[in-house]
Amino acid sequence: MPQTTSPRTATTGGTLVLAPGCQEPGPSCPQGPYARLFRTPGARAFTAGNLIARLPMGMFSVSAVFMIAGARGSYALAGAVTATGLAATAVVAPWTARLVDRYGQARVAVPATVLAVLGSLALLLCVRYDAPAWTLFAAYAATATTPNTGGMSRARWSYLLKGDPGALHTANSFEQAADELCFMLGPVLAALLCSALFPEAGTLVGAVLLLTGVLVFAAQRATEPPVAPRVPAGSPLRTPGMAPMLAVFLATGAVFGSMEVVTIAFADGPAAGPVLALQAAGSCLAGLAYGRARRRAGLRSCLAAMTALMALPLLAAAATGSLLAVAGALLVAGMATAPTMVTGMGLIQRLTPEGRLNEGMTLAVTALLGGIAAGSATGGWVVEHAGAVWGYGIPVSAAAVALLTAAATNRRLGPA
């Protein structure tokens, strides 16, 4: 029978323990789901390290563009280098995650991060000392060993809160809100460092933060999921229902990638960053609110809401042409993305065989990144040939594809 945590308890590895400071009910024992969540022993420590490590995920590509374009005078070269890194990550990340599942988070994440940091520093030196262009591609491709820190954090929550689906839903909602916060603050921090200090500052600071955060995270051995005695053979891709879910994540990534490119084109100036941050802010707030909800929506309901709300920026751009109106529409549209991602990641966790959780979640992230790349390319093509206003039709179309894909699958994707 599933166990649930009371306001005075926390769950560790499926075993209920008394939370510190909650020996008796009262004001000293918080009642909110997030307060209870972080009374889980060890949760604050591994979350702090993971957030430090996750912030650079929103910094590296922006920093690389600033650094390469500033030194070589070519945005085309900068874009090609970052695209190569994304492609390399799509290939390498699932293998890194498989090693994490087989040998443990600390044993794999630390050396993998060291390799990625060396790749970032190599890129910095190649740009600084005017090395041949091919070295930039090789150096940035080496950063593909960066472990999926968000996936490892979700795996810890899944282990610590086993048997408590309500608390796990809150944890997944928090993780999605953290993703949005990091991808909202990361590009802003990178742009500030590169413009205010020197072009390589964003990459340098990002590398230091990544290594520091992973070391802090890996040091929290008490909350690390144990390595499964027998890891199931084969890839999680063979699990029934996994392929359709990855197709949904691919289409959802296209929503994010196209929205970013189209909004940058529509704003056509420094206001693009703050406007995009509003979309991430809306998603972050919705994710935190969704984590407190007692009732959870099904994936198809979330995708239907996302499809409807993604039409708002298109309507605002077409009807008013006002950047202020589009910014408000993006804030509202963003509120559908976090619940969709939380629900989707929850389904990935359910579908992935025990002992392969990091690999399953990394496959989802890889599909998402592939969709972002495809959405960026498609959005850029539409902007160039039809204008930024009609470019906002791409996120709506991509969300509709995700919805139709989910609707066409069987009941393994959960309730509507």
Instruction: Write out pLDDT tens, residues 251-306.
Output: 998 888 888 778 877 877 667 767 877 887 888 788 777 777 666 668 888 899 99
Q: Are 413 and 406 in contact (CB under 8 A)?
A: yes
Give the mean model confidence (pLDDT) for residues 48-54: 89
Q: What is the DSSP string of 331-378?
A: HHHGGGHHHHHHHHHHHHHHHSPTT-HHHHHHHHHHHHHHHHHHHHHH
- The model carries a pTM of 0.72
Whether 201 has a pLDDT exceeding 90, the answer reads no
Tens-place pLDDT, residues 119-178: 999 999 988 888 888 898 898 888 888 888 888 888 888 888 877 777 887 887 788 778
CA distances 19 to 7, 34, 36, 155, Å, are 9, 14, 9, 21
**Is pLDDT at 349 greater than 80 in this prediction?**
no
Instruction: Write down the pLDDT at residue 16.
Output: 38
For residue 21, the 8-state DSSP code is: T
Is the pLDDT at 1 greater than 60? The verdict is: no
Main-chain dihedrals φ then ψ at residue 18, nearest 5 degrees: -75, 130
Question: What's the rounded mean pLDDT across residues 213-227?
Answer: 86
What's the pLDDT score for residue 260?
79
- pLDDT bin (cut points 50, 70, 90) of residue 83 is confident
Report the range of poorest mean pLDDT among 22-26, 106-110, 213-217, 391-395: 22-26
Per CATH, 40-227 and 236-416 having the same topology is answered: yes
**Superfamily (CATH) of domain 40-227:** MFS general substrate transporter like domains (1.20.1250.20)
The reported pLDDT for the residue numbered 234 is: 59
How does residue 235 score in pLDDT terms, banded at 50, 70 and 90? low
Q: What is the pLDDT of residues 363-407, one digit of tens each?
A: 888 888 788 778 877 887 888 788 888 989 999 999 999 999 888
Proportion of the chain above pLDDT 90, given as a percent: 14
Output the CATH code of domain 236-416: 1.20.1250.20
* Contact residues for 390 (Cβ-Cβ < 8 A; gap 6+): 382
Between residues 225 and 21, the one the model is more confident about: 225
Predicted pLDDT of residue 401: 93
Domain boundaries, the chain: 40-227, 236-416
Q: Say what the pLDDT of residue 7 is.
A: 34
**pLDDT over 70 at 10, yes or no:** no
Confidence at residue 410, expressed as pLDDT on a 0 to 100 scale: 58
Q: Quick one: pLDDT at residue 414?
A: 55
- 20 band by pLDDT with thresholds 50, 70 and 90: very low
Q: Quick one: pLDDT at residue 306?
A: 92
Cβ atoms of 153 and 47 closer than 8 Å = yes
CA-to-CA separations, 367 to 159, 234, 238, 249, 344, in angstroms, rounded: 24, 19, 15, 6, 12
The pLDDT, as a whole number, for residue 9 is 40
Q: Are 344 and 245 a contacting pair, CB within 8 Å?
A: yes
Mean pLDDT is lowest, of 16-20, 124-128, 238-242, 384-388, for 16-20
pLDDT at position 25 over 70: no
Q: How far is CA 298 from the centre of its chain?
A: 20
